[in-house]
Each structure stands twice: as structure tokens, then as C-alpha cells.
Amino acid sequence: MILCLGPVGSGKTLLLKNLQNLETIDTTTSTVPTVGTNLTAIRLENQKEVTVRELGGSMAPIWRNYFNNDVKKILYVVDASNLCQIAAAGVLFYTILAEPSLHKTK
């Protein structure tokens, strides 16, 4: 499983929707902030399907409850156009990197 993490409003849901089906997303698409978790199945180029669990940014204090042996990769999303958010995103990212249970996670 892949975890998709990032601060509130960083674009995690929109990114996953784009990865899931490129033809259905346009520039007018908007999303609602994720309060809990979303599971998204994405088909890769080699026709392998992977499951991505998106955790809402408001859940950052309990993200570590989802860090287990089943997590193979982490996708960390940052909205680089939001200058006020970049520092907070860095702090959240550092807490993920410092997590002992993720030392073998890509």
C-alpha cells in the first residue's frame, strides 16, 4: 500500500484523481478537503494496480497510527504555490522521516 500524505489543502485528492483517470479531470474540477481517509486504486504503466490511501491533512497528529509493515511507499504532496504552507509542510515531512517504523519505506 502507498500512503498519500501532506498538509491541509496541498492537493492530495486532486492529484490522486488525476493519476486515476486523466481524461475526466479538467481545470474547473474542485475537491472537498478530506477529513478522514480515501482509498484510490491506480493502474500503473505496466498494468499493475496499486492502492493509495490518502490521509487528510487535518489528521496529521494521528498519521503514525497508519504507519505499519503494509506501507511500502509514501507520496508526500506539497503545494509549492502556497508560501505560507511550505514551512509547516517541512515540519510534517521531517516527522515522517524521523518515524522509526518507516525506516524501510520508500
Query: Given this model, what pLDDT does residue 25 score?
Result: 58
Q: How far apart are CA 61 and CA 48, in angstroms?
A: 32
Q: Would you place residue 26 in the very low, low, confident or very high pLDDT band (cuts 50, 70, 90)?
A: low
For the cut 80, the answer to whether the pLDDT of residue 62 exceeds it is yes
Query: Given this model, what pLDDT does residue 58 score?
Result: 86
- The model's pTM: 0.82
The 8-class DSSP code of residue 27 comes to T
Query: Given this model, what pLDDT does residue 74 score?
Result: 92
Give the HSE-up count for residue 61: Cα atoms under 13 Å, Cβ half-sphere. 2
Query: Given this model, what pLDDT does residue 23 score?
Result: 61
Greater confidence (21 vs 16) lies with: 16
* Fold of domain 2-102: Rossmann fold (3.40.50)
Please compute the mean of the pLDDT values over residues 52-67 and round it to a whole number: 88
Query: Given this model, what pLDDT does residue 45 score?
Result: 80
